[in-house]
Amino acid sequence: RIKRPYRRRVIVKNWKKSKLNSVRVTLVGIKSNVMEKIVDNLNWNEVRNDYLIKIGCDGSSKGNPGAGGYGWYHSDNLYGFGGSLKATNNAMELEALRSVLKTIPPSVEIELILDSKYVIDSMTKYIFAWRKNGYLTSKGDVIANKEAIMDIDLLLNNRVGKVKFSWVKGHA
C-alpha cells in the first residue's frame, strides 16, 4: 500500500466564469521541507497595466504548528502553491500573499481575496506601528512571523500597481 502525501483542498473562486475551482496543495518532505510550484509560462504582455486581476489566496496547517500548505489562484495559467512540514496557519496565509506578490509584476493592479483577517489587518493597519517600533508589539516583543511580514511590506512598497485586500468568510 502506497502512503499518500498530506493533501489539503483549497477552494477559490474563478471570478470571470463564476465557477468554483480548486487547487491541490501537496506536501512531500523528501529532499526539502519547503516546495513551491508557480506557473512559468506566463505572457505578461497580454495583461495591460490598467487591468485589475483578482486572486484568491488561502493557507492552513494541520496542527498549529504542523504540516502546512498554501495556494493562490487566478486562472488555469496563473496560480501557485507550496508548503512546509512545520508551519502555523498564519504563516501559511502570509506565504500565499508573499508568493502572489513575488509572481505578479509590480505594475499590475491586483485584488487579493483572503479569508484571513490577520493578514489583511497586518498589512493595512498594524504595519505602520510595527515599522515605527522596529517590528515589535506594544509590549516590546518581536511580532510573530516577522521575516514574512517584513518581506511582504517591502514587496508592497515596491509595487506601482494598486493592491486591494478583500475579506471573505472562511470555510471553518
3-state secondary structure 5-57: CEEEEEEEEECCCCEEEEEEEEECCCCCCEEEEECCCCCHHHCCCCCEEEEEE
Quote the pTM value.
0.72
Whether the predicted pLDDT of 168 surpasses 60: yes
| Band of pLDDT at residue 77, cut at 50, 70 and 90 | confident
Percent of the chain whose pLDDT exceeds 70:
69
Q: Which residue has the cell 493595512?
A: 124
CA distance 172 to 169: 9
Concatenating the DSSP letter of every residue in 146-172 gives: HHHHHHHHHHHHT-SS-EEEEE-----
- More confidently predicted of 152 and 76: 152
Please compute the mean of the pLDDT values over residues 101-118 and round it to a whole number.
Answer: 92
Please compute the mean of the pLDDT values over residues 113-133 and round it to a whole number.
Answer: 94
The pLDDT of residue 15 is 32
The pLDDT of residue 29 is 29
Query: What one-character DSSP code corresponds to residue 64?
Result: T
Query: What one-character DSSP code corresponds to residue 140?
Result: S
CA distance 94 to 148: 7
Query: What one-character DSSP code corresponds to residue 142?
Result: B
Quote the mean pLDDT of the chain: 76
* Apex 113 CA angle, 123 and 5, nearest 5: 100
Cα 117 vs. chain centroid, distance in angstroms? 13
